[in-house]
């Protein structure tokens, strides 16, 4: 694993090779290993180590970036040359700001990351997981499958990674993190169940429990019957919630407003969702993971995006904030300041909140309580292949998958064939009847979040598939 | 680089691998974008590394490293062996590889102009010219353009004696115009959405695409969509343009025929397939007119799925997938071929890069053109009442690949053989085999385009791969239209 000291040496070498007005160097990568299983056997088992260095050069308002994964002198010379020759032929960008120093990027720049406000996300036990330990974990999962006469497929992965940034104005940031992830599908003859969890600390993961829950879903959804498409009360488990709501957070960006591609255009400050919806972006939240600084090294701030259904504001990279302050939108978008959510420059998208936390409600309900209070509805384990159908009403389509159940008179009545939905996120988040306590959750369509399960009325299922 | 590969092979053999292969890969890419009059991003990237795939005790191990020094390479080979031994702890049966004659070969993507030799200034000038054309249309609120060039050089050696040096080159370009007004965002793209057209070609592709010449029309259509009627809802005959049909093939033929999906190997993420092995040579996949091949050979065209050899050293082949409507073939690998009674791999195993395990990927999965001369205009003229849908806007399909829904950027209602009005937000949906059995007309070769899909995701960790899909505009009878917007 690349250390901060080694990265600092690489940065010094790059700085000496650079002829630009400014230079910025990003480091990323680490070690990653994944054991994959299917048909109750390990069929793929991989490991890799890779680090990438990228150099951004600036000449008189012109900037560009080049990447390499080679750290020898000639490769560094070449990557600097590539970045500089690309930068020199750009048109000057009036919006390009000088690189931030440690003071303007927040924090002292010398303080180690994680800072006291960000919990440690590096765990030695996770970093040290061996192929044998992952195989033993898989063996337990396969054992559960065999006990229930099911077939299982999934992954058990572990990683340790670094993110670092150094620039010629003296800023240096470094973040190390570990992560472990288990995802399990249990397959019956005509049904399936799924569970997935991840954490920086492998001790938080319980493969047996995940396997048992996934298996139970497969067993309970066997012999699915077809019920007609239509509007149903749905109980979305947290993975289903995060996968669908994740599609709106690209729009919570100053650049998206300036580009007029955000569904929040003209809607900031208005009540767009139900009173019970409050959403933050908070990289320091104890259930969150990831890097506490952005693509320019600016520390990520906690930002209130939605408060009691009212869209409060969006996030900003440094240059986007400056542009917004000069724009026609400036009086209609709430607070405007760099919030530490920018992507590495240069880029077209600007910024995005990526540490989403849904606020807990005063009277949380468990999924069991939601089921018990439902006269007629559908319990959804996960959603799949979600795509945007219409961007301004944020209408999305997708499928249910791996455990879809009919609920009637407060009880689960067995599995049903999977549905296609076409549903507006604005409509959905205005119809949330109850929520569970938010939990760290992961899916496949969006990034990890701290989200609750939700009971939503009038969710629009438009078609039924064949299984 | 070959010596690097042999260091790894030797260690794998010494440590007990019954089979091993090594790939040393050097990738280079350039990406340029503009957005509303400015360069959006400009980047060059290189990535070099090697990986070892080894079978020990009948199970697979894989390890990869960016370090190409002898010590690191040998350690990586040893790690692959160690991982394979761990895999063997949870196995049911030994891996069986279909026999393959060890190839010793050199192969390169044919091209006329190396895109990396074209100056960045010239490329930016082109993109900004397109951008200016798009934004010259009143009502365009956002314009985006992109140019992408990729080169991948690979040395492949195996313990069976294969020794293949292969260099692939691809080029991509496209643009999109957005119009925001009232409560609506409309968009038009050219030559295709989500990155445009991509092929295994040099810079000559850029010259063929007539990018500037089409920009004003695209901008005007994006604005005009605001004044268009909503696409009607109901059952219609539909005509898909070739790019949308390319994606339809990708999702509802290309993915279901991946044998690893069929065998359950992708069940946790990408899903499985309705095309269980009992359906081979029995299922009527489509109407008599439907002929689909998976063809990785250069003679099929410069698709993103064209190559000399796949990433386990099997030569490019053409596999009939649907023959006169009958389902006749899968995409297979050396490990999976025996499950369908084949004694040779179909040659479809590919990896995103040096650090990823090769897996079954679509090559060029193409619908062959109609044999009788038929242009798009003639097809429209022969349609009494229908909807022509152009350029994908959204796509979604279930995890067994039965139920799909696609949205397109623009539609045209056809009445009495003529386009009578533009319609906005067109979408259609259906069940895969019902849909392909409703096909009753395919335009001929001069309307056929080999489209590139540069962003196909599959696997854990996920790998992005380019695939090719040849298609000519085609007509499907009695398809559900507009369900997505039904309130």
pLDDT at A107: 54
Give the residue from A6, A49, A139 with the most B CB atoms within 10 Å of its CB, the best one to mutate.
A49
Pairing between β-strand A192-199 and β-strand A172-187 as defined by DSSP bridges: antiparallel
Nearest chain B alpha carbon to A56? B43
Encoding tokens for residue B203?
Answer: 């810079």
pLDDT at B307: 98
Residue with tokens 């200016």: B132
Nearest chain A alpha carbon to B44? A66
H or E, element range at A238: helix A238-245
For the segment A59-99, what is each residue's pLDDT rounded down to a tens digit? 999 999 999 999 999 999 999 999 999 999 999 999 999 99
Buried b (16+ CB within 10 A) or exposed e, A437-453: ebebbbbbbbbbbbbbb
The span from the CA of A167 to the CA of B267, in Å, is 44
For A225, A460, B300, B354, the CA distances from A372, given in Å and listed in that order, are 21, 22, 59, 52
Q: Roughly how many angstroms between the first and final C-alpha of chain A, as a whole number?
A: 46
Mean residue pLDDT across chain A: 96
Give the residue from B52, B356, B399 with the most A CB atoms within 10 Å of its CB, the best one to mutate.
B399
The span from the CA of A239 to the CA of A453, in Å, is 8
Contact B89 A386 (CB under 8 A): no
Sequence spans of domains, chain A: 4-213, 224-467
Cα angle A155, A160, A162; round to 5: 135
Question: Does residue B486 register a pLDDT over 90?
Answer: no
Residue with tokens 């048109």: A91
User: Which residues of chain B make contact with A390, given a CB cutoff of 8 A?
Assistant: 425, 485
For the segment B186-219, what is each residue's pLDDT rounded down to a tens digit? 999 999 999 999 999 999 999 999 999 999 999 9
Question: Does residue B487 register a pLDDT over 80?
Answer: no
The span from the CA of B475 to the CA of B477, in Å, is 7
For the segment B290-321, what is each residue's pLDDT rounded down to a tens digit? 999 999 999 999 999 999 999 999 999 999 99
For the segment A184-228, what is each residue's pLDDT rounded down to a tens digit? 999 999 999 999 999 999 999 999 999 999 999 999 999 999 999
The span from the CA of B324 to the CA of A166, in Å, is 61
Contact A46 B185 (CB under 8 A): no
Top-confidence residue, A119 or B378: B378
Nearest chain B alpha carbon to A45? B61
For the segment B145-178, what is each residue's pLDDT rounded down to a tens digit? 999 999 999 999 999 999 999 999 999 999 999 9
**Mean pLDDT computed over A432-459:** 97
The span from the CA of B313 to the CA of B328, in Å, is 24
The span from the CA of A216 to the CA of A193, in Å, is 7
The whole-angstrom distance between A37's CA and the closest CA on chain B is: 8
Question: Is the distance from CB of A282 to CB of A288 less than 8 angstroms?
Answer: yes
The span from the CA of B273 to the CA of B251, in Å, is 11
Put simply, the chain B residues between 119 and 178 with a CB less than 8 A from any chain A CB are: 119-121, 124, 128, 141-142, 144, 178
The whole-angstrom distance between A89's CA and the closest CA on chain B is: 6
Residue A106's pLDDT band, with cuts at 50, 70 and 90, is confident
Mean residue pLDDT across chain B: 97
H or E, element range at B244: helix B242-249
Question: Does residue B231 register a pLDDT over 80?
Answer: yes
The span from the CA of A23 to the CA of A66, in Å, is 12
Topology, domain A4-213:
PmbA/TldD fold (3.30.2290)
Strand blocks (E) in A221-350: 230-236, 279-281, 303-307, 310-311
pLDDT at A113: 42
For the segment A272-304, what is each residue's pLDDT rounded down to a tens digit? 999 999 999 999 999 999 999 999 999 999 999
For the segment B50-66, what is each residue's pLDDT rounded down to a tens digit? 999 999 999 999 999 99
- Give every CB contact of residue A374 below 8 A, 6+ residues apart in sequence: A233, A235, A407, A410, A455
Q: Roughly how many angstroms between the first and final C-alpha of chain B, as a whole number?
A: 60
Helix (H, G, I), strand (E, B) or coil at B280: coil
Question: Does residue A116 register a pLDDT over 70?
Answer: no
User: Which residues of chain B make contact with A466, given a CB cutoff of 8 A?
Assistant: 274, 400, 402-403, 431
Map out the domains of chain B with their CATH numbers: 2-227 (3.30.2290.10), 230-485 (no CATH)
Question: Does residue A111 register a pLDDT over 60?
Answer: no
Contact A70 B48 (CB under 8 A): yes
Give the residue from B123, B258, B398 with the most A CB atoms within 10 Å of its CB, the best one to mutate.
B398
ipTM entry: 0.96
């Amino acid at each position: 694993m690349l250390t901060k000291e080694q990265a600092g040496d690489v940065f010094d070498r790059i700085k000496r090779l650079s002829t630009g007005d400014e230079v910025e160097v990003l480091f990323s990568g680490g070690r990653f290993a994944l054991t994959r299983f299917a048909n109750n056997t390990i069929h793929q088992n991989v490991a890799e180590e890779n680090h990438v260095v990228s150099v951004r050069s600036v000449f008189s308002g012109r900037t560009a970036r080049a990447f390499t994964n080679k750290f020898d002198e000639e490769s560094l010379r070449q990557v600097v040359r590539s970045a500089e020759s690309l930068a020199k032929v750009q048109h000057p960008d009036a919006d390009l700001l000088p690189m931030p120093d440690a003071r303007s990027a927040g924090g002292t720049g010398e303080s180690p990351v994680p800072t006291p406000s960000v919990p440690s996300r590096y765990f030695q036990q996770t970093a040290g997981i061996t192929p044998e330990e992952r195989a033993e974990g898989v063996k337990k999962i396969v054992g559960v499958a065999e006990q229930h006469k099911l077939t299982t497929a999934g992954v058990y992965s572990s990683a340790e990674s670094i993110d670092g940034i150094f620039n010629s104005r003296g800023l240096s940031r470094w973040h190390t993190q570990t992560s472990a992830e288990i995802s399990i599908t249990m397959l019956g003859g005509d049904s399936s169940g799924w569970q997935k969890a991840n954490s920086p600390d492998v001790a938080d993961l319980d493969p047996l429990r995940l396997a048992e829950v996934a298996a139970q879903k497969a067993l309970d959804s066997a012999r699915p019957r077809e019920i007609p498409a239509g509007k149903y009360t749905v109980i979305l488990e947290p993975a289903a919630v995060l996968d669908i709501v994740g599609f709106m957070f690209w729009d919570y960006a100053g650049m998206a407003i300036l580009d007029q591609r955000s569904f929040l255009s003209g809607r900031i400050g208005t009540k767009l969702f139900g009173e019970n919806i409050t959403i933050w972006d908070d990289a320091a939240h104890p259930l969150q993971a990831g890097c506490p600084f952005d693509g320019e090294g600016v520390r990520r701030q906690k930002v209130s995006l939605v408060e009691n259904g009212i869209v409060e504001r969006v996030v900003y990279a440094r240059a986007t904030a400056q542009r917004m302050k000069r724009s026609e939108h400036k009086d209609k978008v709430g607070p405007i300041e760099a919030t530490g959510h920018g992507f590495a420059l240069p880029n077209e998208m600007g910024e995005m909140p990526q540490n989403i936390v849904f606020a807990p409600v005063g009277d949380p309900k468990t999924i069991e309580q939601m089921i018990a209070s439902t006269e007629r509805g559908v319990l959804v384990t996960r959603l799949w292949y979600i795509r945007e159908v219409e961007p301004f009403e944020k209408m999305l389509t997708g499928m249910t998958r791996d455990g879809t159940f009919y609920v009637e008179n407060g009880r689960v009545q067995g599995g049903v064939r999977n549905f296609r939905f076409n549903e507006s996120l604005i409509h959905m988040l205005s119809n949330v009847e109850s929520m569970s306590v938010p939990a760290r959750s992961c899916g496949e369509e969006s990034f990890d979040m701290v989200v609750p399960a939700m009971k939503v009325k009038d969710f629009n299922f438009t078609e039924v598939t064949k299984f | 680089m070959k010596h690097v590969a042999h260091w790894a092979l030797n260690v794998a053999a010494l440590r007990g691998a019954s089979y091993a292969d090594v790939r040393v890969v050097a990738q280079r890419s350039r990406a340029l974008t503009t957005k509303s009059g400015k360069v959006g991003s400009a980047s060059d990237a290189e990535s070099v590394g090697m990986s070892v795939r080894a079978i020990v005790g009948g199970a697979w191990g894989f390890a990869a490293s960016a370090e190409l020094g002898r010590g690191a390479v040998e350690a990586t080979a040893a790690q692959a062996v160690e991982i394979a031994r761990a895999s063997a702890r949870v196995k049911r049966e030994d891996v069986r590889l279909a026999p393959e004659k060890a190839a010793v070969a050199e192969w390169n993507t044919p091209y006329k102009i190396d895109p990396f030799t074209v100056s960045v200034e010239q490329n930016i000038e082109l993109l900004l010219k397109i951008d200016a054309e798009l934004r010259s249309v009143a009502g365009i609120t956002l314009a985006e353009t992109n140019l992408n060039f990729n080169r991948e050089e690979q040395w492949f050696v195996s313990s069976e004696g294969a020794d293949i040096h292969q260099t692939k080159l691809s080029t991509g370009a496209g643009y999109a115009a957005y119009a925001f007004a009232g409560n609506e965002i409309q968009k038009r793209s050219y030559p295709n959405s989500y990155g445009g057209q991509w092929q295994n070609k040099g810079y000559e592709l850029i010259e063929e695409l007539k990018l500037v010449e089409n920009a004003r029309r695209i901008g005007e259509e994006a604005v005009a969509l605001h004044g268009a009627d909503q696409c009607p809802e109901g059952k219609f005959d539909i005509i898909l343009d070739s790019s949308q049909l390319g994606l339809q093939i990708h999702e509802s033929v290309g993915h279901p025929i991946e044998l690893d999906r069929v065998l359950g190997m992708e069940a946790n993420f990408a899903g499985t397939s309705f095309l269980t092995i009992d359906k081979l040579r029995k299922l009527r996949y489509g109407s008599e007119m439907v002929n689909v091949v998976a063809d990785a050979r250069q003679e099929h065209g410069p698709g993103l799925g064209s190559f000399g050899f796949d990433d386990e050293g099997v030569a490019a082949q053409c596999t009939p997938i649907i023959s006169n409507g009958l389902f006749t073939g899968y995409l297979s690998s050396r490990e999976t071929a025996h499950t369908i009674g084949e004694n040779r791999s179909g040659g479809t195993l590919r990896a995103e890069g040096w650090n990823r395990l090769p897996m079954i990927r679509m090559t060029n999965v193409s619908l062959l053109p109609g044999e009788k001369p038929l242009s798009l205009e003639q097809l429209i003229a022969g349609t009494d009442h229908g909807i022509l849908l152009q350029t994908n806007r959204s796509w979604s399909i279930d995890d067994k690949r039965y139920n799909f829904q696609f949205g397109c950027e623009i539609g045209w209602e056809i009445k009495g053989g003529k386009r009578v009005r533009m319609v906005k937000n067109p979408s259609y949906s259906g069940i895969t085999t019902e849909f392909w059995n409703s096909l009753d007309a395919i335009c001929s070769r001069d309307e056929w385009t080999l489209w590139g899909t540069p962003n196909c995701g599959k696997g854990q960790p996920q790998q992005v791969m380019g695939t090719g899909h040849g298609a000519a505009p085609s007509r499907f009878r009695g398809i559900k239209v507009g369900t997505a917007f039904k309130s």
